[in-house]
Amino acid sequence: MKELLTILAIIFIGSLSTNCESFISQSTDSVYMDYDHAKLGYKLYKPTKKHFLNYDLEEISGLSYYKDGLLAAVEDEGGDLFILDAATGEIKREIDFGNSGDYEGVEIIDNHAYILESDGDIYDFEITDDDKVDAVKTETILERKNDAEGLGFIKGNLAIALKGDEDTDDNKTDGKAIYAYNISKKELVENELFDIEEDDLNDFVSKRKYFNKVNDFDPSAIAVHPITGDVYVLSADRVLVVLTPGFELKEVIRLSSVTYNQAEGLCFSPNGTMYISSEGDGGKGKLMTINYAN
């Protein structure tokens, strides 16, 4: 009888454990679905495709749409620009543009590549048939403490998102800052283009049932939607913030730690398809494709 009771107790505890795991899974899924995906046109909790990348892109840190179904990517340490097949993640070309460094962002504009280093320096070169180029390096007033990570293109200027200290010697901000870099003058605009405060993000989500608290927001990528003009700012803390073209908060989304374990690259194709890349953290990097339903 005693043995029977022990067996029944084990079965009962096991059933509680199973139900608990199921409940946690459902609650966790709800966190990632707790936003108006119909308004944005993206189900980030359910990517359309997932590709594991070549080991050369284990530390992929920047992503940009290039042309004709091709993406451009950089990784943290090597001075190489990778051209990828957007449909498969396969490396199609590799362009040597400089020495090893800490490269964090890339933006392609009219067949010209701009690459961001974490200290705020900008490297630029024209993409030709050559597999080795001499990039022009431009220093900005940003420093390594600013930890520049995201590079985009907004209203004719490059946009630089800072993960670290948001202030410069000549400008103080209240939140994580995005600065404009004037391409023709090759200099950073002194005042920030806009900033994002964690308090504002928390106010935005405070009345939600599941995702109602933003613990950290450290920008790692920035991109403009080609159809709506909305500005998307990605945090490596797995938060995606969407702003209107006038930089007003439009949406705040929690991303899955399994799907987007260390998301640091973001871009769009002309038809609105979203691409997000994540570092591999000891394994292969990942490329997520999220279709746009407008």
- 127 with 237, same domain? yes
DSSP state of 17: H
- 101 with 193, same domain? yes
3-state helix, strand, coil in the chain (%, to 5): 15, 40, 45
Given a cut of 70, is residue 289 above it in pLDDT? yes
Q: Which of 147, 44, 154, 46 is nearest to 107 (CA)?
A: 154
- 213 with 282, same domain? yes
How confident is the model over 174-191, as a mean pLDDT? 95
Domains contained in the chain, number: 2
Between 50 and 2, the more confident residue is 50
pLDDT of 62 reads 97
pLDDT of 236 reads 87
- C-alpha 104/C-alpha 87 separation (Å) is 23
What is the three-class DSSP state of 88?
A: coil
Inter-residue contact 115 to 106 (CB < 8 Å): yes
Given a cut of 90, is residue 13 above it in pLDDT? no
pLDDT of 174 reads 85
- Which range, of 11-15, 153-157, 258-262, averages the lowest pLDDT? 11-15
**Which residue segment(s) compose the domain that 11 sits in?**
1-33
- 77 with 125, same domain? yes
Q: Give the global pTM.
A: 0.90
- 154 with 254, same domain? yes
How confident is the model over 31-40, as a mean pLDDT? 95
- 21 with 46, same domain? no
- 261 with 243, same domain? yes
- 88 with 21, same domain? no
First-to-final CA distance of the chain:
64
pLDDT of 25 reads 32
How confident is the model over 182-190, as a mean pLDDT? 96
Given a cut of 70, is residue 269 above it in pLDDT? yes
Given a cut of 80, is residue 4 above it in pLDDT? no
Given a cut of 90, is residue 14 above it in pLDDT? no
Given a cut of 80, is residue 28 above it in pLDDT? no
Given a cut of 70, is residue 100 above it in pLDDT? yes
* Percent of the chain clearing pLDDT 90 (strictly above): 83
Given a cut of 50, is residue 215 above it in pLDDT? yes
- 40 with 23, same domain? no
- 133 with 9, same domain? no
- 61 with 76, same domain? yes
Q: What is the mean pLDDT of the chain?
A: 90
Q: What's the CATH code of the domain at 175?
A: 2.120.10.30
- 74 with 147, same domain? yes
Give me the count of residues in the chain: 294
Digit-coded pLDDT (tens) for 120-162: 999 999 999 999 999 999 999 999 999 999 999 999 999 999 9
110: region left, alpha or beta (phi > 0 left; psi from -120 to 50 alpha): left
